Amino acid sequence: MFAQLQPVATDPILGLMAAYKEDPNPNKVDLGVGVYKDEQGHTAVLKCVKEAEALRLKNEDSKTYIGMAGDLGFNSHIEKLAFGQGHKVLLANRVTTAHTPGGTGALRVAAEFIKKANPNATIWVTSPTWANHISMFKAAGLNVKEYTYYDYSTKGLNEEGMFADLATVPAGDVVLVHACCHNPSGMDLTFAQWQRFAQLAKERGFTPLVDMAYQGFGSGLDEDARGLRYLADTVDEMLLCSSCSKNFGLYRERIGAVSVVSADSKISDIARVNLLSVVRSIYSMPPAHGAIIVANILDSAELTALWHQELAEMRNRINNYRQLIIDKLAGEGVTQDFSFITRQHGMFSFLGINKEQIARLRNEFSIYMVDSSRVSIAGLNHSNIDYFARSVAAVLKG
């Protein structure tokens, strides 16, 4: 039967990673993959994580199963981190959370949960969005539609287009919105636009699904969650998928969470058993390691302070490079306006250059980015930023 299988197209980013690895040019620059790198181009383990792992090694006394919802201490911390301590949805016991294998696991569980609640639901995603959103939701059997979001000509949000599309979404459908650091554009909603979104969700009766893969990478832990907190204040029900891959640097440990907000605590209890039955049918129980690391950090005031500091370092480094790109390109005599880069947040921005220029950067200069011109800003550092700016200037001049 396996002989019947047909080849499947792989994610273009994986091909890009392989090509980068094989490139012998010592000046090569990887701006493809969405992983934080420091000034040395290294994805280091955070110090707070190392300390939390040492604690775990010392204190762990059992490897028995942790249950379908995962680590309850972690779940409680992650709810407070996202919604803010004392948020009304937490006080009213309207939230149920399961820790999951990464943010991707959270999204897949959310998709299966939606399918249980409304088998005919369509999920609406931003145009464009993280490519895996679409393939994952389709794999879960949901209809997927896109709504207007990023405007490639203005390099900003097409607000009117977005709200015109969302005004057609019926009750019973789900609208995915990125909490912050939109992947791939870096273009986030302003607080006023979050308010408008929340009002529309309430009016139309669609259910928001907030994907928060980068809390703390944009403007700060609370600032990045401000929109979703307002949304949770306004609507009766929503879903939240969070990830600790980026903000705790725990990529390979696969730790994230899915939270369901229901209209009242009774519905929430029923939502909980449904959520757990989805978990049971996919992977039964999540891996514990990442959750316990995060819980150990957030249990300790000292480790939390260290984490805040390390997170701020990552955030500030990216934000500094956003400004540096603009300055260095201007220094190379580039006259095009790149000021949009500092109006965007998180790991990514579209450079807005064409396919031919992207190919030249790759073939002539060994600078790798995906074909949409999305660059992962954290791939830049003091030893490659000048080379990057010179090379971009060269391809822009033609």
Residues labelled as active-site residues: 130, 211, 246
Binding segment for ligand PMP among 97-105, 217-225, 311-319, 359-367 (CB under 6 A)? 97-105
221-234 vs 72-83: helix axis angle to the nearest 10? Answer: 90
Binding segment for ligand PMP among 98-106, 274-282, 286-294, 355-363 (CB under 6 A)? 98-106
- Asked if residue 180 lies in contact with residue 345, where contact means CB atoms within 8 angstroms, the answer is yes
Q: Which residue's CB is nearer to ligand PMP, number 84 or number 102? A: 102
Q: Which residue's CB is nearer to ligand PMP, number 293 or number 389? A: 293
Site for ligand PMP (CB under 6 A): which residue of 32, 70, 84, 102?
Answer: 102
Residues 274-333 that bind ligand PMP (CB under 6 A): none
CA distance 380 to 372: 18
Taking CB under 6 A as the rule, does residue 183 contact ligand PMP?
Answer: yes
**Strand stretches in the chain, DSSP E:** 29-30, 95-100, 122-127, 143-148, 150-151, 156-157, 174-178, 207-212, 238-243, 256-261, 348-350, 367-368, 374-376
Binding segment for ligand PMP among 99-107, 270-278, 306-314, 326-334 (CB under 6 A)? 99-107
245-248 contact pairs (CB < 8 A, 24+): 245/102, 245/103, 245/213, 246/34, 246/36, 246/213, 246/214, 246/217, 246/347, 247/214, 247/215, 247/216, 247/217, 247/221, 247/311, 248/46, 248/48, 248/49, 248/290, 248/293, 248/294, 248/297, 248/307
Residue 172: which residues within 8 A CB-CB, separation 6 or more? 118, 120, 121, 205, 206, 207
Site for ligand PMP (CB under 6 A): which residue of 32, 84, 103, 227?
Answer: 103
In angstroms, give the least distance from the CB of 53 to ligand PMP: 18
Sequential DSSP letters for 179-248: SSS-TTT-----HHHHHHHHHHHHHHTPEEEEEES-TTTSS-HHHHHHHHHHHHHH-S-EEEEEE-TTTS
Q: Which residue's CB is nearer to ligand PMP, number 165 or number 211? A: 211
CA distance 103 to 256: 5
Q: Which residue's CB is nearer to ligand PMP, number 108 or number 328? A: 108
Site for ligand PMP (CB under 6 A): which residue of 112, 173, 188, 211?
Answer: 211
Site for ligand PMP (CB under 6 A): which residue of 31, 33, 34, 374?
Answer: 34
In angstroms, give the least distance from the CB of 101 to ligand PMP: 8
In angstroms, give the least distance from the CB of 64 to ligand PMP: 25
Taking CB under 6 A as the rule, does residue 104 contact ligand PMP?
Answer: yes
How many residues sit in the footprint of ligand PMP (CB under 6 A)? 13
Binding track, positions 127-156, relative to ligand PMP; x by CB under 6 A: ---x--------------------------
In angstroms, give the least distance from the CB of 127 to ligand PMP: 14
CA distance 216 to 212: 10
Residues 236-255 that bind ligand PMP (CB under 6 A): 243, 245, 251
Binding site for ligand PMP (CB under 6 A): 34, 102-104, 130, 178, 183, 211, 213, 243, 245, 251, 256
